[in-house]
Amino acid sequence: MTDIPVIRLRPKSKPQAIRHGFPWVFADEAVLDRRTRNLLAGGFALLEDPERRPMALVTVNPNSKIVARVMDADPQAVIDTEWLKVRLARALAMRQRLYGAPFYRLIHAEADGLPGLVIDRFGETAVMQPNAAWADVMAEQIADALVQVTGVSRVILNGQGRARGLEGLDERMEVLRGSAPDQPVPVQMNGATYLADVMGGQKTGLFFDQRPNHAFTQQLVKDARVLDVFSHVGGFGLAALAAGAKAATCVDGSAPALELAKGGAQAMGMADRLDLVQSDAFKAMERMAEEGQQFDVVICDPPAFAPSKPALEAGLRAYERVAKLAAPLVAPGGYLVLCSCSHAADLTQFRNVSARGIGRGGRRPVLIHTGQAGPDHPTLPQLAETGYLKALFFRLDG
């Protein structure tokens, strides 16, 4: 790579963090003069420490608070299709060792060495979310590498979501390889059948991250009445039916998501044991409590109420309210599962507000298990944001 621009850390920055694996350089840590501010978003640069010593090859985005992301510890690296294929092949080898079927998160951004890029695989279909400028610029090359490494026949670019806005990227949805599917993609997971709307659903169409928490829940649901609140396409509810639950009720505000849950239950031959409630989740829980309804297992898997630090206080209050409303719906000796996918709320904070909410709901909790995302969502130890998912399993005795 010749004539590559240089971006330099400020004297008071902490270059040792980069050397020890931290993958980001924030705008206030770099020398941002007129030259660096005019660098092409998504381009590449040589990162130097304050003494002008080369540190890494980075991708830059002057429009983002994260002005640089480490691409390769080798300053001489060349980011091209062959480089992408090496990273993809490494990620694929781990997933193939973990899973017997090609349904998983293939690339989990920084933790898989491809910063800001998410790729979920649904058999012959791959859905990519380029949430960093470099991945948006190189989308075609990523698609080429994906096809060559994995053999998928369809690559969809889902360029939507909050993360792209933070990078200054426009929303877009494109089919890069193959043709758009004419129906949802069936996914087998934990014995259940899910339908993924890879063109119009949330994120990439299905959440693979809850797979181990679905599996743990399945140990609790034999002959049980199950309530799945914020159910999306029936994640916990369908897993419960597959494990022998007597009945499952899915509550969600999205009619299309509930239709996909219904389709999954039909594919499993269990539609008669599934009840669908389209409603605001908070109002539905309030109404169920007023009616005296109770369930053996209640799961609440809401959207990210605290996606950023400024939203943390309000988000924690929302999680506490979920716990307060859900607790009375659990039958004596039953189980309550509370989940958070908020980056800003750490495990201790989420556990504390959940316990307080349960107490305010008039119940006494015992924590029996703490879950996280599956191994296809690896965590970069230096970057807490990659370990975002938390699932708390409580038994409610009182």
Output phi, psi for 225, to 5 deg: -95, 125
Shared domain for 171 and 304, answered yes or no, is no
Shared domain for 226 and 276, answered yes or no, is yes
Shared domain for 231 and 369, answered yes or no, is yes
Choose one of 148, 177, 206: the last residue of a domain.
177
CA distance 270 to 263: 10
- Section 223-245 average pLDDT: 98
| Residue 133 maps to a domain | yes
- The CA dihedral of 154, 160, 162, 167, to the nearest 10 degrees, is 80
What's the mean per-residue pLDDT of the chain? 95
Choose one of 128, 144, 177: the last residue of a domain.
177
Structure tokens at 272: 């008669």
Domain with 90, as residue range(s), is 81-177
- Convert the pLDDT of each residue in 131-175 to its tens digit: 999 999 999 999 999 999 999 999 999 998 888 988 999 999 999
Listing DSSP states for 217-282 in one string gives HHTT-TT-EEEEES-TTTHHHHHHHHTT-SEEEEEES-HHHHHHHHHHHHHHT-GGGEEEEES-HH
| Residue 153 maps to a domain | yes
- Convert the pLDDT of each residue in 325-382 to its tens digit: 999 999 999 999 999 999 899 999 999 999 999 999 999 999 999 999 999 999 999 8
Shared domain for 169 and 194, answered yes or no, is no
- Convert the pLDDT of each residue in 331-342 to its tens digit: 999 999 999 999
| Residue 222 maps to a domain | yes
Q: What is the CATH number of the domain that holds 168?
A: 3.30.750.80
> What band does 204 get if pLDDT is binned at 50, 70 and 90?
confident
Shared domain for 191 and 150, answered yes or no, is no
- The CA dihedral of 134, 136, 137, 140, to the nearest 10 degrees, is 120
> What band does 121 get if pLDDT is binned at 50, 70 and 90?
very high
CA distance 19 to 295: 51
pLDDT over threshold 80, residue 202:
no
Q: Percentage of the chain surpassing pLDDT 90?
A: 88
Shared domain for 22 and 145, answered yes or no, is no
- The single residue listed with the structure tokens 């830059």 is 60
| Residue 392 maps to a domain | yes
Choose one of 142, 177, 212: the last residue of a domain.
177
| Residue 21 maps to a domain | yes
pLDDT of residue 13: 81
Listing DSSP states for 346-360 in one string gives -HHHHHHHHHHHHHH
| Residue 1 maps to a domain | no
- Long-range residue pairs from 167-174, CB within 8 A, at least 24 positions apart, any chain: 167/41, 167/61, 167/63, 167/64, 167/116, 167/131, 167/132, 167/133, 167/136, 168/41, 168/61, 168/63, 168/64, 168/133, 169/130, 169/131, 169/133, 169/136, 173/199
Shared domain for 168 and 265, answered yes or no, is no
Shared domain for 143 and 168, answered yes or no, is yes
Shared domain for 31 and 127, answered yes or no, is no
Structure tokens at 116: 């800001």
Shared domain for 54 and 95, answered yes or no, is no
Residues that are catalytic = 341
- Convert the pLDDT of each residue in 250-306 to its tens digit: 999 999 999 999 999 999 999 999 999 999 999 999 999 999 999 999 999 999 999
Q: What is the CATH number of the domain that holds 228?
A: 3.40.50.150
pLDDT of residue 358: 98
pLDDT of residue 161: 84
pLDDT of residue 2: 55
- Report yes or no: 199 and 181 within 8 Å, Cβ to Cβ: yes
Shared domain for 201 and 322, answered yes or no, is yes
Shared domain for 105 and 253, answered yes or no, is no
| Residue 342 maps to a domain | yes
| Residue 105 maps to a domain | yes
User: What's the total number of domains in the chain?
Assistant: 3
Q: What is the CATH number of the domain that holds 65?
A: 2.30.130.10
pLDDT of residue 331: 97
- What are the C-alpha distances in Å from 33 to residues 37, 155, 202, 295? 6, 39, 39, 60
Q: Is residue 161 left, alpha or beta, with left meaning phi > 0 and alpha meaning psi from -120 to 50? A: left
pTM: 0.94
